[in-house]
Amino acid sequence: MALLFSAKFEDVERWRNALAAELGDMDFRLWTPDGANIGDPADIEFVLAWGPKKGAFKELPNLKAIFCLGAGVDHLIGRDLPKGVPVVRLVDPGLTRGMREYVIYWTLHYHRRFKEYADSTAAGVWKQLPQADTRKRRVGILGLGVLGADAAAHLRALEFDVAGWSRSAKALDGIESFHGADGLPAFLARTEILVNLLPLTPETTDIINAETLNQLPKGAFVINAARGPHVVDDDLIAAIDGGHIAAATLDVFHAEPLPAEHPFWTHPKINITPHAASLTVPETAVVAIADNIRRIRAGDPPFPIVDPESGY
Ligand code: NDP
Ligand code: OXD
């Protein structure tokens, strides 16, 4: 029985070694676009993939689970997934840690006005700025799942005033919880630094648009570390150029790599990173994957399974 690996990253060997360390007996086959290394399709029990071609799963009659190589499954959903085969989302402590660092870094960047200090340094100017009270800085996180809840808890530990928005109501220590479409306006109205950690679904596409940006207080900051299509690019640029939004940090884009001619590249109030807010760490990710493979082999369901209805 074999595991088929469809790489998102260059370092296949790192994955092969990490998986071998956890599941020594696993026959690891590489899913290249020409399908040359697949061997007998009937051998394949598990697929570890980011976004294989539409219909690619059809020829795998004994598939028991599809493991997504990332936390977001939007690349997999809609690829003619075989019915009854669970798609397992990645929950990786290394990925969670990376996202926590990214969110804290950019929140502090805006909160502590480090861009203004960088500009002063460049101009050779010695100028202290008033220091805002962290306890009064209202950070709002769209999405209170694995990554959002973790970032919220760590921002809270730094004494930020943190709220989150999700589909279902949450009871998280020290975090104000808003939920559903009805809860969104109040959540936005209190949010000075908006962090997006939602999955990309039909409901969340374009969620950061002229209307929602306008509901943030004047001078708010936006950090998008989830998916590019959450943002209406022109609306964000207009909100920044119009002075309502102070600045934005974007890690993800409609097209990746971000096309050279896109105005985000040169906008003075937009920071961009190349979909690197947090990268899957094979050595930590394989622990959960191997655990799930053992569960399936023991007849238990893997966790967490993507709900095809909600799309995450
Ligand atoms: P989870 O599935 O654990 O959490 C998703 C959260 O979003 C949940 O709280 C969920 O609500 C909420 N949500 C989903 N749909 C809606 C909706 N329509 N309205 C309100 N809330 C909604 O995901 P993760 O935290 O693991 O990951 C989040 C996303 O981060 C990924 O989907 C991916 O796109 C992105 N990501 C980006 C990376 C990068 O490097 N840039 C790296 C890793 C992930 P509820 O709790 O009620 O279900
Ligand atoms: C992910 C990502 O979803 O890398 O894990 O974006």
Q: How many angstroms is it from 237 CA to the middle of ligand 2?
A: 25
Share of the chain above pLDDT 70, in %: 99
Tens digits of per-residue pLDDT, 247-302?
999 999 999 999 999 999 999 999 999 999 999 999 999 999 999 999 999 999 99
pLDDT value at residue 78: 76
pLDDT at 59: 84
Q: Is 86 in the pocket of ligand 1 (CB under 6 A)?
A: no
Q: Report how far residue 189's alpha carbon sits from residue 138's, in angstroms, rounded to the nearest whole number.
A: 10
Among 34-38, 82-86, 221-225, 245-249, the minimum mean pLDDT is found in: 34-38
Q: How many helices (H) and strands (E) does the chain have?
A: 8, 12
Q: H-helix or E-strand containing 118?
A: helix 114-123
pLDDT score recorded for residue 224: 99
pLDDT for the residue 33: 78
Active site residue 113: no
Residue nearest ligand 2's atom 1 by CA: 70
Mean pLDDT of the chain: 95
Ligand 2 centroid – CA 199 distance (Å):
10
- Give the mean model confidence (pLDDT) for residues 139-164: 98
| Candidate list 14, 227, 244, 267, residue with the active-site label | 227
For residue 230, pLDDT over 80 is answered with yes
Q: Residue 263 Cα, ligand 2 centroid: separation in angstroms?
A: 24
- Say what the pLDDT of residue 11 is: 80
Mind giving me the DSSP string for 292-312?
A: HHHHHHTTPPPSSBP-TTTT-
Q: What stretch of H or E contains 5?
A: strand 2-5
DSSP code of 131?
P
Are the C-beta atoms of residues 3 and 19 closer than 8 Å to each other? Answer: yes
Q: Is the model more confident about 35 or about 115?
A: 115
Over residues 202-222, the pLDDT tens digits come to 999 999 999 999 999 999 999
Ligand 2 pocket, Cβ-based, cut-off 6 angstroms:
70-72, 95, 280
- Chain-centroid distance, C-alpha 75: 12
In this structure, the residue with its CA closest to atom 48 of ligand 1 is 167
Residue with the larger pLDDT of the pair 83 and 250: 250
275 is known as an active-site residue: yes
| Ligand 1 center from residue 147 Cα (angstroms) | 7
Residue pair 273/256 in contact (Cβ under 8 Å)? The answer is no
DSSP state of 130: P
Give residue 8's pLDDT.
61
> What's the CA gap between 180 and 203, in Å, rounded?
11
The edge-to-edge listing of strands for the beta sheet with 2-5 is: 27-30, 2-5, 44-49, 65-68, 87-88
| Cβ neighbours of 122 (radius 10 Å) | 8
Query: Distance, CA 49 to ligand 2 centroid (Å)?
Result: 12
Atom 5 of ligand 2: nearest residue by CA position = 70
Q: Whose CA is nearest to atom 2 of ligand 2?
A: 70
The predicted structure's pLDDT at residue 39: 92
For 45, residues 6+ apart whose C-beta sits below 8 A from its C-beta are 1, 2, 3, 62, 63, 64, 65
Among 71-75, 125-129, 219-223, the range scoring the smallest mean pLDDT is: 71-75
Q: Is residue 174's pLDDT more than 90? A: yes
Ligand 2, atom nearest to 95 Cα: 5
| pLDDT 10s digits, 3-57 | 999 876 678 899 999 999 999 978 999 988 787 788 999 999 999 998 877 778 8
Q: Which residue is closest in CA terms to ligand 2's atom 4?
A: 70
